[in-house]
């Protein structure tokens, strides 16, 4: 009889701890809409410095529980607005609320916004490895996560940034030239 009671209590404790873990996850709003529309923070720009304004550019929210930790994808892929106006201006993000797995409400979320040209790759990593692609990421910023029913914080405190064009590594160019030279030399024999 005692073993059944102990087993029942153990099962109840496990059930409660796993359910509280689900409810303890924090939430964040993937939005760079500032409280002050004149603010220069939270804007993503192309390589020429113009705010992104076509659906050819996309962004994702990546986060970690520590500033130097491994960043994981939090959001889906967000396409930038093609029409500027209230409330969303060119280069700003207005996506959705996301639950952040593994980081409790009341904890800090260290995050980055990663953006790229969708034609250059379905993912940031793929686009980052393609010569000529436009990619970029914000400096790491942080917010304190909230839990439901509280309003989650916006990701609007990141420093605005511009995308850069990916340049192939010199080693890749050198290997290509070396391979071409070998083919020409071999052809002459």
The string of pLDDT tens digits covering residues 138-158 is: 999 999 999 988 999 999 888
Of the pLDDT bands very low, low, confident and very high (cuts 50, 70, 90), residue 118 is very high
Range from 2-11, 42-51, 89-98, 101-110 that averages highest in pLDDT = 101-110
Q: How confident is the model at residue 33 (pLDDT cuts 50, 70, 90)?
A: confident
> DSSP 3-state helix, strand, coil percentages of the chain (rounded to 5)?
25, 30, 45
- At residue 130, the pLDDT reads 92
Q: What is the pLDDT of residue 16?
A: 44
Q: How far, in Å, CA of 46 to CA of 173, rounded?
A: 26
Q: Concatenated DSSP letters for 24-44? A: TEEEEEEE---SSTT--SS-E
Q: What is the pLDDT of residue 19?
A: 40
pLDDT at 188 over 80: no
Q: Are 112 and 138 in contact (CB under 8 A)?
A: yes
- What does the alpha-carbon distance between residue 37 and residue 86 come to, in Å, rounded to a whole number? 9
Question: Where does residue 91 fall: left (phi above 0), alpha (psi -120 to 50 degrees), or beta otherwise?
Answer: left
Q: With cut-offs at 50, 70 and 90, classify the pLDDT of residue 79.
A: confident
Tokens 């995050």 correspond to what residue? Answer: 111
Q: What is the pLDDT of residue 104?
A: 95
């Amino acid at each position: 009889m005692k073993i059944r009671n102990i087993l029942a209590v153990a099962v109840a404790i496990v059930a409660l701890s796993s359910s509280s873990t689900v409810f303890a996850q924090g939430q964040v709003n993937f939005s760079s809409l500032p409280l002050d529309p004149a603010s220069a923070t939270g804007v993503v720009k192309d390589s020429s410095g113009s705010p992104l304004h076509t659906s050819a550019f996309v962004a994702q929210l990546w986060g970690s529980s520590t500033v130097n930790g491994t960043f994981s994808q939090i959001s889906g892929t967000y396409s930038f607005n093609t029409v500027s106006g209230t409330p969303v201006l060119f280069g700003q993000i207005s996506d959705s609320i996301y639950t952040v797995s593994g980081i409790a409400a009341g904890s800090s979320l260290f995050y980055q916004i990663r953006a790229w040209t969708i034609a250059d790759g379905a993912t940031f990593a793929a686009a980052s490895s393609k010569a000529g692609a436009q990619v970029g990421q914000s400096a790491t910023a942080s917010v304190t996560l909230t839990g439901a029913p509280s309003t989650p914080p916006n990701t609007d405190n990141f420093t605005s940034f511009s995308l850069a064009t990916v340049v192939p590594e010199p080693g890749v160019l050198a290997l290509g030239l070396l391979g071409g030279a070998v083919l020409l030399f071999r052809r002459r024999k």
